[in-house]
Amino acid sequence: MPRVNYRSYEVDEMARMMRAEAEGEGKQGMLYVGNVIVNRCAATCLDFKDINTIHDVIFQVQGGNYSFEAVQKGNVFYQRARTSEKRLAKQNLNSWRVHPAKYALWYFNPHAPCPPTWYGQPHSGQFKEHCFYEPKAGTCDSVYRG
């Protein structure tokens, strides 16, 4: 049973997002980005209370900008998702979660060492150039379910 409900077009959107955000970090990096996408959809807390679908996550606007850089810059749709990326997206949707992104709701590439916190949230780990952050204890129990 998947962690979140999804439609086929959302598999494609998620696969394109994973590729646009982390293709340079290989399959593992793309899976970590997928963890964050699914975690945001599953979360019912913080900035994600009214985010109920994968599509909502990908096109969420915060502070007047899209949450993901690939959508802000328009390169999320630079190419169609390949079969391999769709397979990775389905892995995430059907429960694949691994540290450091297992419970992460945020990630970014600081082009420097990872700060210990990001917007007050603790650093959970790093993979190649991306730093991952999960919610402070007690602030988002829903991300730890499933």
- Interatomic CA distance for residues 6 and 86, integer angstroms: 13
Report the percentage of the chain scoring pLDDT > 70.
99
Kindly calculate the radius of gyration of the chain based on its CA atoms and give it in whole angstroms: 14
Q: What is the mean pLDDT of the chain?
A: 94
Provide mean pLDDT across the span 94-105.
Answer: 94
Q: For residue 146, is pLDDT > 80?
A: no
Residue 27 is predicted with a pLDDT of 97
Q: For residue 93, is pLDDT > 90?
A: yes
Q: For residue 144, is pLDDT > 80?
A: yes
Q: For residue 13, is pLDDT > 90?
A: yes
Q: For residue 112, is pLDDT > 90?
A: yes
- Interatomic CA distance for residues 66 and 8, integer angstroms: 22
Residue 95 is predicted with a pLDDT of 87
Mean pLDDT is lowest, of 22-31, 77-86, 107-116, 124-133, for 77-86
Report the percentage of the chain scoring pLDDT > 90.
86
